[in-house]
């Protein structure tokens, strides 16, 4: 049992912090920009809430965060009220935000200057993975720091791995999103084609999922895509944020990502249809207009 803090109680952070308290047995103090959400979390899981990231982080051995983007992350980490200002040397900051590798390296350097550890640790598995405590976590940082936090991360993860130095976790998450983008577009086209061909779409998905075309996306989103249901978690707005991050990184490192760039444009079309909060499987909707 450790004293920990968790910053950000959205659809991912809220249940992750809950697993730290209930499954991990940790003493958890939370912070959220909207206090009522923090108060509701404490009512459900116990622990305490603090009015600033700095106060939440005071005395914590590990401070976790899961917020929206690079700027949100800087706002809870840096400055007089940021988490680093309240942490004790030897403590570790673990960031589960999907952010840029650049900000991960920036914050790792800021933490090191204060005698603190830093791990960038974006997650995959979506809202359901967070709620069920079965996320996949990809980490960047040094091995000694990672060893301090691996056990606590296990409270809400079924897989966790150190991928390299600071920023490597974020780069690995970019690979994850590149692969998902192509899969979802391919599945969307398959579902659309099957409909136009007059096939029983569910029967088609059932049989081809047993072969080389099978994937998590097909098993979990194929039938709902066919039914036009898009309320299953990871929103188009967030996917576009992630695609923007990885396309920026590709411009820096020279990687060629033509499919990812095209799918980003397709998601922009979904946004124009009013699908900002639809989940990522809504790519099929633009084919059926």
What per-residue confidence (pLDDT) applies to 62? 98
> CB-based burial of residue 286 (10 Å sphere; 0-12 exposed, 13-18 middle, 19+ buried)?
middle
Instruction: Please determine, for residue 216, whether its predicted confidence score (pLDDT) is greater than 90.
Output: yes
CATH 3.40.50.720 domain residues, the chain:
1-163
Instruction: Kindly tell me if the per-residue pLDDT of 232 is higher than 90.
Output: no
Q: To the nearest whole percent, how much of the chain has pLDDT over 90?
A: 97
Where does the pLDDT of residue 69 fall: very low under 50, low under 70, confident under 90, or very high at 90 and above?
A: very high
Pick the CATH number of 169-285 from 3.40.109.10, 3.40.50.10490, 1.10.1040.10, 1.10.510.10: 1.10.1040.10
Q: How many Å apart are CA 269 and CA 272, to the nearest integer?
A: 5
Long-range contacts of 24-30 (CB under 8 A, 24+ apart): 24/152, 24/154, 24/155, 25/1, 26/1, 26/2, 26/152, 26/155, 27/1, 27/2, 27/3, 28/4, 29/3, 29/4, 29/5, 29/56, 29/60, 30/5, 30/6, 30/56
Share of the chain above pLDDT 70, in %: 100
- Residue 280 pLDDT level (bands cut at 50, 70, 90): very high
User: Which part of the chain is CATH 1.10.1040.10?
Assistant: 169-285
**Secondary structure class of 218 (helix, strand, coil):** helix
Phi–psi pair at 197, nearest 5 degrees: -85, -5
Q: Considering just the CA atoms, what is the radius of gyration of the chain in Å?
A: 20
Which residues are designated catalytic? 173
* Average pLDDT over every residue of 202-215: 97
Examine the pLDDT at 175 and tell me if it is beyond 90.
Answer: yes
pLDDT for 286 equals 97
**How far is it, in rounded angstroms, from Cα 144 to Cα 128?**
31
- Mean pLDDT over all residues of the chain? 97
For residues 133-144, average pLDDT:
98
Q: What is the 3-state secondary structure (H, E, C) of 2-67?
A: CEEEEECCCCCHHHHHHHHHHCCCCEEEEECCCHHHHHHHHHHHCCEECCCHHHHHCCCCEEEECC
Kindly state the average pLDDT of the residues 127-138.
96
Task: Give pLDDT, residue 47.
Answer: 96
Please say if the pLDDT value at position 233 is more than 80.
no
Instruction: Write the pLDDT tens digit of every residue in 261-279.
Output: 999 999 999 999 999 999 9
CATH number of 1-163: 3.40.50.720
Confidence band, pLDDT 50/70/90 cuts, at residue 1: confident
pLDDT (average), residues 222-246: 95
Mean pLDDT over residues 162-174, rounded? 98
Beta bridge mates, 138: 161
The yes-or-no verdict on residue 246 having pLDDT over 80 is yes
Does the pLDDT at position 255 exceed 80? yes
Is the pLDDT at 142 greater than 90? The verdict is: yes
The C-alpha atoms of residue 120 and residue 139 are separated, in whole angstroms, by 5
Query: Predicted confidence band at 36 (pLDDT cuts at 50, 70, 90)?
Result: very high
- Rounding to the nearest 10 degrees, give the CA dihedral for residues 44, 49, 51, 57: -140
For residue 106, what pLDDT band results from cuts at 50, 70 and 90?
very high
pLDDT for the residue numbered 229 = 96
């Amino acid at each position: 049992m450790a004293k920990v803090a968790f910053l950000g109680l959205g659809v991912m952070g809220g249940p992750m912090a809950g697993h730290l308290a209930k499954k991990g047995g940790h003493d958890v103090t939370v912070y959220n920009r909207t206090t009522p959400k923090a108060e509701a979390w404490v009512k459900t899981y116990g622990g305490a809430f603090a009015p600033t990231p700095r106060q939440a982080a005071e005395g914590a051995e590990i401070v976790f965060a899961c917020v929206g983007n690079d700027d949100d992350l800087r706002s809870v980490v840096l400055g007089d009220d940021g988490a680093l200002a309240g942490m004790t040397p030897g403590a570790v900051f673990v960031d589960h935000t999907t952010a840029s590798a650049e900000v991960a390296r920036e914050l790792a350097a800021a933490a090191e200057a204060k005698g603190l550890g830093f791990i960038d640790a974006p997650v995959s598995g979506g809202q359901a993975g967070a709620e069920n405590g079965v996320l996949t976590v990809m980490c960047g940082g040094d091995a000694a720091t990672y060893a301090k936090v691996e056990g606590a991360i296990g409270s809400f993860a079924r897989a966790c791995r150190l991928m390299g130095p600071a920023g490597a976790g974020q780069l690995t998450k970019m690979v994850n999103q590149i692969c998902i983008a192509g899969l979802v577009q391919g599945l969307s086209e398959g579902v659309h084609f099957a409909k136009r061909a007059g096939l029983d779409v569910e029967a088609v998905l059932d049989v081809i999922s047993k072969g080389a075309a099978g994937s998590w996306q097909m098993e979990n989103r194929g039938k709902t895509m066919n039914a036009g249901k898009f309320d299953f978690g990871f929103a188009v707005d967030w996917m576009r944020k992630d695609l923007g991050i990885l396309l920026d990184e590709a411009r820096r490192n020279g990687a060629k990502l033509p499919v990812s760039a095209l799918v980003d444009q397709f998601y922009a079309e979904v946004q124009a249809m009013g699908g900002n909060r639809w989940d990522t499987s809504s790519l099929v909707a633009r084919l059926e207009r």
